[in-house]
Amino acid sequence: MSNLRKRTMSAIMALLFLSMALPGCLSLVLGREMMEGARGSPTVSNIPDPYDLSHTFVVNTSDASIWEQVQKEKYAQIPIDHTVQMIIINFETNMKNEDFFIIEDTDQREVHVRLLWCDESGTNCDESDPIYEVLADNGSYPQTRTELDRNFNPFENGLWQLTVEGRGIGWNTGVSILDSQDSWSLRVTVIRPCLTFPETPDVCTPTIEFE
């Protein structure tokens, strides 16, 4: 370490100790500004925030018939702010032996996915106009990738709600040729910009945390 850098770091440490004698909030702000000033120039990249709501149906045969369809629901609340650049949705369903295991015409196996805008409390949601909605019925639904890009579809801030509800059958006997399990795969990724500093190259902090 050069003499100049040693003197700079010594001065910074002296100022940090001095700031401890200042009122609480003022000392924290001063300390943060001085430490950030000692950092190198950051690089901007993107950080993915993943949500996985996938599910595989397995019926407990001790409690019900293996032919019985069961229902499953999953949901996640997704915070969306002005820094979010893109939302990627990957979805598919796999209904095993779909032509053979239809028990009643009125009792179909299906999966319903909805992404709703909700206010920042997450309680008031716009159910009349889903941001994304898919009803996969009448068999398997092929893998699809949907990209919601802020540049083309501006996002409204809030605590969005992702819900998936499905009905299917499945059992696990341990014999692969006898087993059959319906499933769905739902993976959502929220992309935000982040900053990486030379001193911590393995850490990328979302830019909103610096606001």
Q: In terms of domains, do 157 and 85 share one?
A: yes
Q: Alpha carbon of 51 to those of 8, 110, 141, 171: distances in Å?
A: 44, 21, 20, 26
Q: In terms of domains, do 120 and 70 share one?
A: yes
pLDDT digits (tens, 9 = 90+) for 6-46: 444 444 444 444 444 444 443 444 345 445 555 678 889 99
Averaged pLDDT of the chain: 79
The CB-side HSE value for 206 (13 A sphere, CA atoms) comes to 15
Spatial contact of 84 and 191, defined as CB atoms under 8 Å apart: yes
Answer yes or no: is 116 within a domain: yes
Structural domain harbouring 23: 1-38
Q: CA 145 to CA 126: how far, in whole Å?
A: 23
List phi, psi (to 5°) of 206. Answer: -55, 140
Q: In terms of domains, do 9 and 101 share one?
A: no
Q: In terms of domains, do 56 and 8 share one?
A: no
Spatial contact of 119 and 77, defined as CB atoms under 8 Å apart: no
**pLDDT at residue number 20:** 47
Q: In terms of domains, do 59 and 9 share one?
A: no
Closest CA to 123 of 161, 172, 82: 161
Q: In terms of domains, do 68 and 152 share one?
A: yes
Q: CA 136 to CA 184: how far, in whole Å?
A: 10
Q: What are the DSSP calls for 84-110, one per residue?
A: --EEEEEEEEE-TTTTT----TTS--E
Residue 140 is part of a domain; what is its CATH number? Answer: 2.60.120
**pLDDT at residue number 62:** 56
Say which range, 33-42, 43-52, 165-174, has the weakest mean pLDDT.
Answer: 33-42
Q: CA 208 to CA 211: how far, in whole Å?
A: 5
**pLDDT at residue number 175:** 63
Answer yes or no: is 204 within a domain: no
Is 70 in a helix, a strand, or coil?
Answer: strand
Q: Which residues pair with 192 in a beta bridge?
A: 47
Q: In terms of domains, do 105 and 190 share one?
A: yes
Q: CA 83 to CA 52: how far, in whole Å?
A: 22
Q: In terms of domains, do 173 and 74 share one?
A: yes
Q: In terms of domains, do 72 and 126 share one?
A: yes
Structure-model confidence comparison of residues 76 and 204, the more confident one: 76
**pLDDT at residue number 98:** 56
Instruction: Give the H or E element holding residue 34.
Output: helix 24-37
With 0-12 / 13-18 / 19 or more C-beta atoms within 10 angstroms meaning exposed / middle / buried, residue 190 is buried
Tokens of 89: 């949705």
CA dihedral 88, 94, 95, 99 (to 10 degrees): 110
**pLDDT at residue number 97:** 64
- Say yes or no to pLDDT of 200 above 90: no
